[in-house]
Amino acid sequence: MARRTRRPRRPEPPPTGVLDWEHGHWKPTALPCRYGCGGWPTHLRDSKGRPAHKVCAEAALAQQVRDYAEAYQNERLRLT
Ligand SMILES: [Zn+2]
C-alpha cells in the first residue's frame, strides 16, 4: 500500500477572504472604520461589534498572524 509523504503546507486563503461575515455583521448604521483606513463609513461590524471593513479586518488579522509567527520563530531560535 502506497503512502503519500506528508509535507507541511500553508493553505491558500480562499478568494472570498478568510472571514465569513455573511451573517450578523451588517448593521443599519454606517460608521467610520476602526482601522482608520480613510474609506467610506461601513455597515459592517467585526466580531467584537466594532465598525470595520472586512478587508481591513482581514489585513489586520494577517498582520497579527505574521507577528505571532515571527515571535514564535524568534522564541524557537533563542531556545535552540
Ligand atoms: Zn477600513
Q: Total domain count for the chain?
A: 1
Question: Among residues 59, 66, 13, which one has the least CA distance to residue 34?
Answer: 59
Residue 20 falls within a domain, yes or no? no
Of 17 and 60, more confident: 60
Give the domain extent around 60. Answer: 26-73
Tell whether 66 is covered by a domain.
yes
For the entire predicted model, the pTM comes to: 0.68
Rounded to the nearest 5°, which phi and psi values hold at 6? -100, 125
Ligand 1 centroid to Cα of residue 36, in Å, is: 6
Identify whether 5 is part of a domain.
no
How close is the Cα of 76 to the center of ligand 1, in Å? 34
Model pLDDT, residue 80: 59
CA of 56 to the centre of ligand 1 (A): 5
Secondary structure (DSSP) of 4-69: PPP---PPPPPTT-S---SSS-EEEEEE--TT------EEEB-TTS-B--HHHHHHHHHHHHHHHH
CB–CB of 50/25 below 8 Å?
no
Distance 39 CA to ligand 1 centre (A): 6
Amino acid occupying residue 31 = L
Q: What is the pLDDT of residues 10-57, one digit of tens each?
A: 766 667 777 888 888 999 999 999 999 999 999 999 989 999 999 999
